[in-house]
Amino acid sequence: MDNNKGRSERIDKIVILLMPLVAVLLAFIVGGVILWFQGVNPFVAYKEMIVGAFGSKNGLADTLVKATPLLLVGLGIAIAFRGGMINIGAEGQIVVGALLTTFVGLQLGEQLPGWLVVIIGLLTGALMGGLWAAIAGVLKAYLNVNEILSTIMLNAIAVQIAYFLLRGPMIDPAELEAGTNIPHSARLVRALDMPRFTDIAQQLGLTGSAADLGIKGFLGELYGVLVEPTRLHTGFIFAIVMAILVYIFLWRTTIGYRIRAVGLNPHASRYAGINVRRNLILSITLSGMLAGMAGAVEILGLHHRMFEPAAVSAGYGFTGIVAALLGRLHPLGIIPSSILFGGMLVGGDKMQRAMQVPQVLIQAILGLVVLFVVSTDYFARKYEKRRATAEVDLDDGGGGTPNDIVPGVPGQEAVS
Amino acid sequence: MNENLTLLAIILGILHSGIRLATPYLYAALGETFSQKSGVLNLGVEGMMLMGAFTGFYTVFVTHNLWLGLLAAGLIGAVFGLIMSLVSVTFQAEQGISGIGLYMFGLGLSSLLFKTTLGTVEGVDGFSEIQFCLSSLGIHSDFCLAEVPVLGEIFFSHSILTYGAFALVPISAWVFNKTNWGLKVRSVGQNPEAADTLGVSVNRTRYEAVILGGILAGIAGASLSISLLNIFQENMTNGMGFIAVALVYFGSWTPVGVLVGALLFSTVNALQLWVQVLDLNLPSDVAVMLPYLLTIVALALPFKRAEQPAALTKPYERGEN
């Protein structure tokens, strides 16, 4: 009898873990129907997408390049959600972070050693993103302003600030001289470029290409990603390290525990003597810091200058939410999900070129993923309920009980 | 003297555009009021508006029938309302997230359909401005109400969709306060357990309110694409749907409050456009920020928070709450 119960519990757990994958599958099926209505064979289109994202060294490298900001943003979203705050403002936090990092790079790039300016740039970018998000946190904690709406408005404001600065004080002097006035900053000095994987490989003396060494097939492409010249930069490693740090922070520190406690039950937390207001502000500030860091990494690792704000944030603020949800708001779960969505963005681009399917299809599929994830969550909860209604264990090591995929957000309740 | 005249013309222009631009805000925010009154925070309004704007525009582009376009926009809004209810009411999803999902889906799908059907920005002949001429009543006269100085210039010569939006304010108030269904909507948003005990189907009422909200959001989108601007562009709503959600808070969940908010926002929007036209000493980038800044300020104002439906964002399950 006990044996039976154990088995059914295991089955439940597997079902619950499979739910997000089912959600993605369903989203792709609906996307396929949309494609089919457009007169495109969905199987051919999806194959094009997968091969485009994961089939070559350049595709793989671009996938990881896009996974980098997604991972950082997704980690931030997870901290905020776990703390009971819904941060829809990562787009704006990326922009303000990127702006300050660029500013710092332009000011200090010539005077200090490159590595030092990179570190200062990452820190100031994070700080700026955190401050920007803190506005929404303070408004929520003290004036009960819905943080979803305030962060969306802050996104729009950040974009306008960026345009204002890039058309005025921060514009590339060369643009002024040429009279073209395209709103972008000057390029940062090359000493500030975060090293690419290929640079490190060369430092280590790995210079032979896959073809030279006779490594063929997918392994050859993988080798190529690590050694041959691609756009892949060390920002990716940085993001992975951050994921591990965020995991330790949330599940192995007192502050992380408090943030999660407030997210799960603000009332009980208050009785337990936790300062709810301070933790709400803290969780969204940390969330904004990670998004600001994503902005800094995009500038230092990829673009090397600030330009069109919407092209720098590139929808990562929203796609990062999807990555966080699919990663079950678990820092380590967000690593594979951000690579998956990075791949979808890259593959969607390839699909557009090969099959004339507009890339915005990916946007629609991402929306569907969200809708299906939050819907299938319902069935996971039902499964959970069928088991004994045990107390929610905060120290579950982050495996995530299904009902804290999206924790009860204090939402509209007064937080005072 | 001459300067005074220009100033008057500018003020008149701002007031006229203020009333005009209130149209999409009114439809969307009144629809959202129904949804929120029933207890569902629908953050997908922006996506619904975009779908309505595209569907309405494309229908008119193909059939040249404006009313058919409006119908199509309302229908697609209803379909999106149904999706939102299914996810948020039946599957009890966290409403902050489901709405964002619906927004992303609507944004992506409307852009996809735009790119695959039209490809470039096209124009249509949308709803024309009504001049209220006596000649249309069969009276032999060239006189039109729109020619009346000041008042005529501000209040007449709008399209039927604009008048419809303003007419919807008292209609919504009447529905909430005087009809059986309005009472049901308010009760399932305020105290679903009590409503359930009295035999009101909580989920069914919420479905109806959210779908009505969807229809109005679809029409709000169409009011942009086939009445105010007569074009469709990707992401043409540019945050209006989210501002509409904020307007419901600002208006303390009453149609009249929403009207005040919509007028305030559209006037600021009009002001912002005129700042750019007049080349005032305010950078246009800063001027564009104004409506978004105002939204945050409006949300921070503490008045009438008590009016908020008690069960807003809370899914209902019998015997649990």
Interface of A with B in 52-111 (CB under 8 A): 86, 88
Nearest-Cα residue of chain B relative to residue A86: B96
Orientation angle between helical segments B284-300 and A147-167, nearest 10 degrees: 160
Chain B residues whose CB is inside 8 A of the A143 CB are: 299-300, 302
B12 Cβ contact list (under 8 Å, min separation 6)? B150, B153, B154
Which pLDDT band, with edges at 50, 70 and 90, does A209 fall under?
A: confident
Cβ–Cβ below 8 Å for A34 and B300: no
Q: What is the residue-averaged pLDDT of chain A?
A: 89
**Which candidate in A151, A160, A415 is best for mutational testing of the B interface (most B CBs within 10 A)?**
A160
Q: Choose from A366, A370, A372, A403 for mutation: most chain B CBs within 10 A.
A: A370
Q: In degrees, to the nearest 5, what angle opens at C-alpha A285 toward C-alphas A284 and A290?
A: 95
Q: Out of B101, B106, B300, whose CB is closest to A139?
A: B300
Chain A hits for B296, CB-CB cut-off 8 Å, are 139, 145, 150, 153-154
CA distance B148 to chain A (A): 39
- Chain A, window 367-386: residues with a beta carbon less than 8 angstroms from a chain B beta carbon: 367-371, 373-375, 377-378, 381
Give residue A400's pLDDT. 41
The rounded distance, in Å, linking the Cα atoms of B22 and B30 is 12
Note whether B97 contacts A144, CB cutoff 8 Å: no
Q: How far is CA A131 from CA A167, B161, B256, in A?
A: 23, 42, 36
Per-residue pLDDT of chain B (321 residues; tens, 9 = 90+): 466 667 788 888 888 889 999 999 999 999 999 999 999 999 999 999 999 999 999 999 999 999 999 999 999 999 999 999 999 999 999 998 999 999 999 999 999 999 999 989 999 998 988 877 777 777 777 777 777 777 777 888 889 999 999 999 999 999 999 999 999 999 999 999 999 999 999 999 999 999 999 999 999 999 999 999 999 999 999 899 999 999 999 899 999 999 999 999 899 888 877 776 676 667 778 888 888 999 899 888 876 666 889 999 899 987 654
The pLDDT score that the predictor gives to residue B2 is 60
Q: Which residue has the tokens 């975060």?
A: A194
Nearest CA of chain A to the CA of B226: how many Å?
23
- Residues of A within 8 A of B83 (CB-CB) are 371
**B299: CATH:** 1.10.3470
Decide if B56 is inside a domain.
Answer: yes
Residues 251-290 of A with CB under 8 A from B: none
User: For residue range A143-166, what is the model confidence (pLDDT) as tens digits?
Assistant: 989 999 999 999 999 999 999 999
For residue B295 the two structure tokens come to 């939204």
Domain extent at residue B272: 12-126+157-307
Contact B257, B172 (CB under 8 A): no
Q: Report chain A residues whose CB lies below 8 A from the CB of B102.
A: 367, 371
Three-state DSSP at A232 gives coil
Whether B300 and A38 lie within 8 Å, measured CB to CB: no
Q: What is the pLDDT of residue B303?
A: 61
Interface test with B, best of A38, A153, A376 (most B CBs within 10 A): A153
Element (H, E) at A175: helix A173-178
- Contact of B114 with B232, CB cutoff 8 Å: yes
* Contact between A88 and B112 using a beta-carbon 8 Å cutoff: no
- Residue A387: phi and psi, rounded to 5, are -75, 175
Contacting residues of A for B295, CB less than 8 Å apart:
149, 153
φ/ψ of A180, rounded to 5, equals -85, -30
- Is B285 within 8 Å of A364 when comparing Cβ atoms? no
pLDDT digits (tens, 9 = 90+) for A42-97: 999 999 999 999 999 999 999 999 999 999 999 999 999 999 999 999 999 999 99
Domains and CATH numbers, chain A: 2-196+231-389+396-404 (1.10.3470)
Q: What is the ipTM of this complex?
A: 0.91
DSSP result, B34-103: HHHHTT---TTHHHHHHHHHHHHHHHHHHH--HHHHHHHHHHHHHHHHHHHHIIIIIS---HHHHHHHHH
> Which chain B residues have a beta carbon less than 8 Å from that of A365?
108
User: Which whole-number Å values give the CA distances from A12 to A170, A371, A382, A386, in the listed order?
Assistant: 56, 22, 10, 10
Rounded to an integer, the average pLDDT of A28-38 is 93
* Total residues found in chain A within this entry: 416
pLDDT greater than 50 at residue A395: no
Distance from CA of B137 to the nearest CA of A (A): 47
Residues 301-330 of A with CB under 8 A from B: 318, 321-322, 325
Q: Which chain B residues are closer than 8 Å to A150 by Cβ?
A: 296, 299
* Closest residue in A to B294 (Cα–Cα): A153
Q: How far apart are CA B261 and CA B244, in angstroms?
A: 9
Residue in A156, A333, A403, A340 with CA at minimum distance from that of residue B94? A403
d(CA A323, CA A188): 30
Nearest by CB: A378 against B93, B107, B299: B93
How far does the CA of residue B177 sit from the closest CA of chain A (Å)? 24
Q: Is the pLDDT of residue A388 over 70?
A: no
Among chain B residues, the shortest Cα distance to A407 is held by B94
Task: From A365, A322, A367, select the one nearest A90 (Cα to Cα).
Answer: A322
Give me the mean pLDDT over the A321-334 stretch: 94
Our CA-based measurement puts residue A365 at a distance from the nearest CA of chain B, in whole angstroms, of 7
Count of the separate structural domains present in chain B: 1
Nearest-Cα residue of chain B relative to residue A406: B94
| Cβ pair B104:A409 closer than 8 A | no
Task: Report how far residue B145's alpha carbon sits from residue A200's, in angstroms, rounded to the nearest whole number.
Answer: 76
pLDDT for position A404: 43
Measured over the CA atoms of residue A128, residue A130, residue A136 and residue A139, the dihedral's sign is negative
Section A123-151 average pLDDT: 96
Contact B96 A143 (CB under 8 A): no
Q: How far is A264 from chain B (nearest CA, A)?
A: 13
Task: Say yes or no to pLDDT of A394 above 50.
Answer: no
Q: What are phi and psi of B11, to 5 degrees?
A: -60, -45
- Angstrom distance (rounded) from CA B66 to CA B59: 8
Q: Evaluate if residue A411 carries a pLDDT over 60.
A: no
Residue A149 in contact with partner chain B when CB distance is under 8 A? yes
Between CA A50 and CA B15 the distance in angstroms is: 53
pLDDT value of residue A316: 97
> Binning pLDDT at 50, 70 and 90, where does residue A399 land?
very low
What's the confidence (pLDDT) of residue A406?
A: 46
On whether any CB of chain B is under 8 Å from the CB of A34, the answer is yes
**CB A371 to CB B103 under 8 A?**
no
Residue B150 lies in a domain: no
The model's pTM: 0.91
pLDDT value at residue A410: 41
Q: Which two tokens stand for residue A107?
A: 């000011």
Neighbours of A233 (CB within 10 A): 24
CB contact under 8 A, A374 and B91: yes
Please judge whether B97 and A406 are an interchain contact, meaning their C-beta atoms are less than 8 angstroms apart: yes
Across the interface, whether the CB atoms of A360 and B91 are under 8 A apart is answered: no
- A18 confidence band (pLDDT: 50, 70, 90): confident
The residue in chain A having the minimum alpha-carbon distance to the alpha carbon of residue B291 is A153
| Structural domain includes residue B22 | yes
What is the longest distance spanned by two Cα atoms in chain A?
82
The reply to whether B71 falls in a domain is yes
| pLDDT greater than 90 at residue A211 | no
